[in-house]
Amino acid sequence: MAERWATFGIDLHLEPTGPGLRRGLTDALREAVRTGRLAPGTRLPSSRSLATDLGIARNTVADAYADLVAEGRLTARQGSGTRVADRAVPRPPARPSTPGRAPGRLPYDLVPGTPDLASFPRAGWLRAARRALTAAPNDAFGYGDPRGRPELRTALADYLARVRGVRADPERLVVCAGFAEGLRLLCTALRARGARTLAVEPYGLDVHWDLVERAGLRTVPLPVDDAGPRPGDAGDAGAVLLNPAHQFPLGGALVPERRAEAVDWARRTGGLVLEDDYDGEFRYDRQAVGALQDLDPDHVVYLGTASKSLAPGLRLGWMVLPERLLPDVLAQGAGRSVGVLEQLTLAEFLTSGAYDRHVRAARLRYRRRRDALVAAVTARAPEVRVTGIAAGLHAVLRLPPGTEQSVVRAATWQGLAVHGLSRFRHPAATVPPADALVVGYATPPDHAWTGTLEALCKALP
């Protein structure tokens, strides 16, 4: 029999088979309930509606329903309609766990890279979403501009100019699904332009290095001296990836001489500087370091994200591009991966001032956590030095030589997830290794902060 469909709130697909319509319909419904395809509590179409959709007599459907009510597979109540009975449905056997994987998450978490997700401004975001949806023009729900919604690009350009010193023209701003997608688009565009290598800092994230190499570029770590990485020695690399305002994971800022050196290298070679400003809003003991992009917008790509200020699950990021690079990036499929409602909501969140209020409140909360971390470590582990704390959402705990791996194991015994500095070292880096922990003090929710800090102190030497 050809596929037929009936709809009553949900789509219901049935294929009555066998001799007789009543028996065939009853068997099809019984099988759908028995296998769990129709979950307990699912409301079925009325007998009149289903009969019309299947092209059969209403009494045939009513009789099939009655048979299954008598079996206990369906329930029928006045005013509630016919529903699948609330009874156990066989479930497929659970897959065996993968060998070598931890049976579950540790109760305490100081892995860097995530803000306190419990502090996401749900009420404010919902208000912004309602206002944005109400005010959105009809054409907002079409395919639109590949750079992203103009409302968000305009709001971001104003915000970045005011807060980060970025020279941001909305026409050269592209919305993307977070930093990783922006980096992928840039690397693919660079590869198409003939680039072969990307110079990176000797400490960073392997997921970014892997992404770069999947895009067809080789990552080469920059040389380092006492003043930090030397972008002027990037040689013939197609681009240099830097965290000028707050290096991850070491936590320092690129000194003015090296910022100028990076721009000079780009002008001299025709290369690009990719500026990752992943947590530029958070600073505590110093004035904010302005964006490197302001020194030369024609040679610096500015990349920002809401992953640290709001939440990574939003998948919202942005790039401010040199004009000459814009067509190449758009040719890689930019601007198609972020939903229009998220873009309109963030635009409203920015222009209403809600974003500024949220960032200021988060900055105060994270500063208190940082201060508590420093005080606890100083009091209970005097041999450990806390560095990289003037800004951002993580700190580096410098450990006695040769102790990093033992401290990470001790942390696991305390139920604490934390990473050692060696995890973030580029395989080809020539900088001498150092023993340290990279502590993401923004990660735990407020209710878990005290217990997390206690677990950390117990693991330290």
Q: Give the residues across from 14 on adjacent strands.
A: 4
Same domain, 174 and 268: yes
Question: Token pair of 169, please?
Answer: 């023209």
Residue pair 280/240 in contact (Cβ under 8 Å)? The answer is no
- Cα(255)–Cα(52) distance, rounded to whole angstroms? 75
Let me know whether 203 and 279 are in one domain.
yes
Same domain, 292 and 160: yes
**Domain holding 389: CATH number?**
3.90.1150.10
Strand pairing class (416-417; 108-109): parallel
CA distance 244 to 263: 12
CA distance 28 to 14: 6
Give the CA count within 13 Å in the CB-facing half-sphere of 52. 7
- Cβ count within 10 A of residue 245: 25
Q: Where are any strands of DSSP class E within 208-321?
A: 218-221, 224-225, 228-229, 239-242, 272-276, 300-305, 317-320
Residues 317 and 411 in one domain: no
In a domain, 14, yes or no: no
Give kind and range of the element (H or E) at residue 392: none
Contacts of 54 (CB under 8 A, 6+ apart): 4, 6, 14, 16, 25, 61
Instruction: Give the contacts of 454 (CB within 8 A, at least 6 positions apart).
Output: none
Does a structural domain hold residue 91? Answer: no
> 411 and 329 in one domain?
no
pTM of the model: 0.84
Residue 108 lies in a domain: no
Report the C-alpha gap between 213 and 223 in whole angstroms: 20
Question: How confident is the model over 22-49, as pLDDT tens digits?
Answer: 888 888 899 888 888 888 988 888 888 8
| Residue 11 placed within a domain | no
Q: What is the CATH number of the domain that holds 270?
A: 3.40.640.10
Q: How far apart are CA 97 and CA 91, in angstroms?
A: 17
Flag whether 400 is in a domain: yes
Q: In this structure, are 305 and 418 located in the same domain?
A: no
Contacts of 314 (CB under 8 A, 6+ apart): 306, 307, 342, 346
- CA-to-CA distance for 229 and 237, rounded, in angstroms? 15
Residues 336, 401: one domain?
A: no
**240 and 382, same domain (yes or no):** no
Q: Are residues 149 and 218 in the same domain?
A: yes
In a domain, 16, yes or no: no
pLDDT digits (tens, 9 = 90+) for 415-448: 999 999 999 999 999 988 999 999 999 999 999 9
Query: What CA–CA distance (Å, rounded) separates 121 from 457?
Result: 31
pLDDT of residue 402: 96
Cα separation, 420 vs 397, whole angstroms = 9
Helix (H), strand (E) at residue 81: strand 81-84
State the pairing for strand pair 228-229/239-242: unpaired
Give domain status of residue 176, yes or no: yes
Q: Where are the alpha helices (DSSP H) in 35-86?
A: 47-54, 58-71
Tally of domains in the chain: 3
The verdict on 76 and 189 lying in the same domain is no
117 part of a folded domain: no
Peptide bond into 249 cis (omega under 30): yes
User: Is there a single domain that holds both residue 365 and residue 234?
Assistant: no
pLDDT under 50 in the chain at which residues? Answer: 1-9, 88, 92-103
* Contact predicate 250/425, CB 8 Å: no
Q: What is the model's pLDDT at position 270?
A: 95
What's the CA angle centered on 435, arms 420 and 376, to 5 degrees? 75
For residues 364 and 341, membership in a common domain is answered with no
Bridge-based pairing of strands 81-84 and 300-305 is: unpaired
**DSSP string spanning 263-294?**
HHHHHHHS-EEEEE-TTTT-BSSSPPPPPGGG
Q: What is the CATH number of the domain that holds 38?
A: 1.10.10.10
Single out the residue in 312, 336, 352 at which a domain terminates: 352
Task: Give the long-range contacts of residues 133-139, CB within 8 A, separation 24 or more.
Answer: 133/341, 133/344, 135/348, 136/340, 136/344
For residue 190, the enclosing domain spans 122-352
Q: Single out the residue in 336, 352, 368 at which a domain terminates.
A: 352
User: Exposed, middle or buried: residue 296 (CB in 10 Å: 0-12, 13-18, 19+)?
Assistant: middle
State residue 9's pLDDT score. 47
Last residue of a domain, one of 294, 326, 352: 352
> In the prediction, which pLDDT does 104 show?
59
- Token pair of 2 as six digits: 């050809």
